[in-house]
A and B are shown apart, each in its own frame.
Chain A
Amino acid sequence: MSNRPTPGRLLLMAYVYLVLIFVLAPIVVILPMAFSEPDYLTFPPEGFTFDWFGAFFGNSRWMAASVFSLKIAVLTSVVTVVVGTMATYALMRGAGRLGTLFQGLLIAPIVVPHIALAVALYLFFRQTGLSGTVTGYVMAHAIIAMPFVVFTVAAALSSVDATLEDAAMSCGASRFDAFRLVTLPLILPNVLSGGLFAFILSFDEPVISFFLAGIRDKTLPRMMFDNIEQNLTPVIPAIAVLLTGISIFVLVSAAILRRMAQSRSMPAKEA
């Protein structure tokens, strides 16, 4: 078989390029509008200005929402990583029947639609006074992000030889020290990349943000939702430029962390 492209192959690639245009077009179209002068969205953009970035950074409500969302996202990723790593470690060290229950409950929030979780939490938080609080959002976002962190950490743990901990413990280390000094450094890149995913999931999360928002404290996604619904100004493309920048940064960091993880861990069993 030669590598010369067959007609079928050419047809496939033409189709794939069309699909990629469909995938990328909306993003490519909206980003330049951040620099457009009129206060409505047109394509192609008219004029050139940084005013909309100024409108975003200079507006106290946008800033408050951004800080609020950042705070929630950072706490979500910390909580998810700590709670998730603890539970995953237990799972991989003989959890038995408790592990089966853990796996079932872990998957449940992926299956149950976000709208259902959002409405349930809306009711629960109203009763408990957690509506619009950082604690409320962090709990909700941690539930959603948990499976992603657990999958990432479990993948790393499964490639770490458990006898290394044995060796450490027979040299006198406690179980905790063996984990902290031997296993944790080996899985750290995956733990961190899990944390990054949790951060992004929380920072971008629109549905729960929509229902849980208090009157004063709104998250960034909720503010964006209101803007899109009401007047759709070029502040949205400006935020899109900033978010895309952050996303690319996070994706690249996660990829680098994963590369580090691969080069560090032993070429253990392949799934």
Chain B
Amino acid sequence: MSLSSFMQPDGRNLSKAGITLLMAPFFMLIGIAFLYPLISLLSISVTEPELGFQNYERILDTPVYGKVLLRTLWIALLVSILSLFLAFPVAMAMVSSGGAMAVFITACILLPFWSSVLVRTAAWAVLLQRNGIVNDLLQAIGIIDAPVRLLYTQGAVVVAMTHVLMPFMVLPIYGALRNIPQDYGRAAAICGAGPLRGFIEVTLPLAMPGVLGGFILVFLTALGYFITPALLGSPQEMMIATLISQQLREFLDWPFAAALVGVLTLFVTAITLVFSRVFRFDRMLGGQV
């Protein structure tokens, strides 16, 4: 996994012992509170109730669980695509507007970024309730005759998750677009390309690393998302995170919950490794670091 040049060591070097000493607290922390718990959880998934892969077989053999996995993939994909379509123009506007406008858009994108996920989820619960604003609005413009159920549906989960995760898409795309010299667009125009062709053949390919990075970040985060599906989703249409929670808290089925965590973690890690070249976390944070 490559980090940018600022992560490369430079300057006057410390002794080996000094480095070990300074890094020791970090390695202890990550060992105790991350590696050990995760490894022991995953080992439960293959050792209990007896040695073998029967917990994983149960996921694959039970249609209900297979459906949950497919639904999770589908919702994560949908959220990523929607986020991309919302985020790309915003990132373009951030790059092309000057001064106050750029600051205003950035602030709008960043403020929800730092406001509580729970608050935003509650806001969607209010907006989407039976006598809520969205229902009123849909009735006013005549799309529906009577209030419909919007809350506790897959639609509610998709909309609210897109709302929460979209800023994560804006920042990497903005980082990529900002690095494209403006001359390129001008050069394309001089060579006779219209704005659309210039966009498709010049801007888009150069922005691709940011698009891909943002897309994968949103997709992976959405796969394991818990809060929004738990509060706005329907119990009949669970995602993997809500299924894990149910198995643990209602059925106390540790080995099976562990296997579900295993599937999720392995899948996410595999995607990350495959895309590790475009997946630069320092850039994910907006390329400003």
Binding site for B on A (CB under 8 A): 1, 6, 8-9, 12-13, 15-16, 19-20, 22-27, 29-30, 33, 41-43, 79, 82-84, 86-87, 89-96, 98-99, 102-124, 139-140, 142-143, 146-148, 151-152, 154-155, 157-158, 161-163, 165-166, 175, 200, 204, 206-207, 210-211, 221, 224-225, 228-229, 232, 236-237, 239-240, 243-244, 247-248, 250-251, 269, 271
Contacts and interface: CB of A to CB of B under 8 A. Distances in A.
Q: Nearest 7 A-B pairs (CB), nearest first?
A: A113-B224, A162-B11, A94-B13, A26-B123, A124-B37, A90-B22, A158-B6
Contacts of B264: 113, 115-116
29 contacts: A20-B90, A29-B123, A82-B25, A83-B26, A87-B25, A91-B7, A92-B11, A93-B12, A94-B11, A105-B26, A105-B27, A106-B26, A113-B265, A116-B41, A117-B38, A155-B6, A162-B10, A163-B11, A165-B11, A166-B12, A221-B118, A225-B118, A228-B121, A236-B119, A244-B115, A247-B114, A248-B111, A251-B110, A271-B5
A211 B241 CA distance: 12
A186 B129 CA distance: 51
A27 B41 contact: no
Given A113-B241, A115-B264, A165-B11, A224 B93 contact: no
A25 to B, nearest CB: 8
Interface of B: 1, 3-7, 9-14, 18-20, 22-23, 25-27, 29-30, 32-38, 40-41, 44, 86, 89-90, 92-93, 96, 105, 108-112, 114-127, 129, 131-133, 163, 166-167, 186, 189, 195, 220-221, 223-227, 230-231, 241, 244-245, 248, 254, 257-258, 261, 264-265, 268-269, 272, 281-282, 285, 287, 289
Contacts of B26: 83-84, 86-87, 102, 105-106, 146
A122 B245 CA distance: 11
Contacts of B126: 29-30, 33, 41, 43, 232
A255 B13 CA distance: 31
A111 B272 contact: yes
B33 A162 contact: no
B244 A139 contact: no
Contacts of A142: 29, 33
Chain A's interface: helix, strand, loop or mixed, by majority?
A: helix
A103 B3 contact: yes
B127 A236 contact: no
A115 B244 contact: yes
A210 B23 CA distance: 30
Given A6-B195, A119-B244, A142-B33, A114 B23 contact: no
A147 B281 contact: yes
Contacts of A41: 126, 129
A96 B14 CA distance: 10
A87 B12 contact: no
Given A103-B1, A108-B34, A151-B285, A114 B110 contact: no
Contact of A15 (B20, B89, B114): B89
Given A13-B93, A162-B12, A23 B109 contact: yes
Given A1-B186, A20-B105, A29-B127, A86 B226 contact: no
B163 A12 contact: no
B226 A243 contact: no
Given A228-B125, A251-B114, A124 B36 contact: yes
A115 B226 contact: yes
B133 A43 contact: yes
Q: Which of B90, B126, B132 has the most CB of A within 10 A?
A: B126
Contacts of B248: 119, 122, 211
Contact of A16 (B90, B133, B166, B223): B90
A108 B268 CA distance: 11
A152 B40 CA distance: 32
B188 to A, nearest CB: 12
Contact of B38 (A116, A206, A271): A116
A90 B269 CA distance: 27
A23 B189 CA distance: 34
A248 B231 CA distance: 26
Nearest to A113: B224
B260 to A, nearest CB: 9
B183 to A, nearest CB: 11
A89 B109 CA distance: 32
